[in-house]
Amino acid sequence: MDFDPEVTSYDNLLKMFWNNHNPSVKCKRQYMSAIFYHDEEQKGLAESSLEAMKAKHSVKPITTLVLPAEKFFVAEDYHQKYLLQQHGWLISALDISPGYELNESHVAARVNGFVGGYGKKADFEAEWQKLGLNEKMAEYVRDQHTKNFRGSS
């Protein structure tokens, strides 16, 4: 994800982060739950959000770490757009090649989220044609979104 402060705030990213994953899961380092910051302001916001989450989740300990953003490594191809990769025919129908094209594709990112049950139906309905989906593809993504829904409409 590319963060653009002209589009959204770091605080909004933190809210999205906390609302879209389980912060108490114990994972290996490569899958750990972490919030990365670039400056002291972001560090303060991240730490405050962590403390607020800890207050809400008293049953299981929060495993999320707050760490400085340092060197970043892109995950291997098989991790990219993982949810969409479970629907190979859809990638083929979108005419997106595996590897770099899949990794960098805005369309793949949006469709990945929708098939995984993220986002709002209204957003999908407003976007599906712009994303280059035909009626059959759109119906399939709608079905997957409904089946895997993880949020509020």
Q: Give CA–CA dist 33/35, Å, rounded.
A: 7
* H or E element at residue 36: strand 34-37
Reported as a pLDDT band with limits 50, 70 and 90, residue 105 is very high
Task: Give the integer Cα–Cα distance in Å for 127 and 84.
Answer: 17
Q: How far apart are CA 87 and CA 74, in angstroms?
A: 22
Torsion 133-135-141-145 (CA) sign: positive
Q: Which pLDDT score is estimated for 56?
A: 86
Strand segments, DSSP code E, in 10-143 are 34-37, 65-68
Q: pLDDT digit string (tens) for 9-44?
A: 999 999 989 988 888 888 888 888 999 999 999 999
35-47 pLDDT tens trace: 999 999 999 999 9
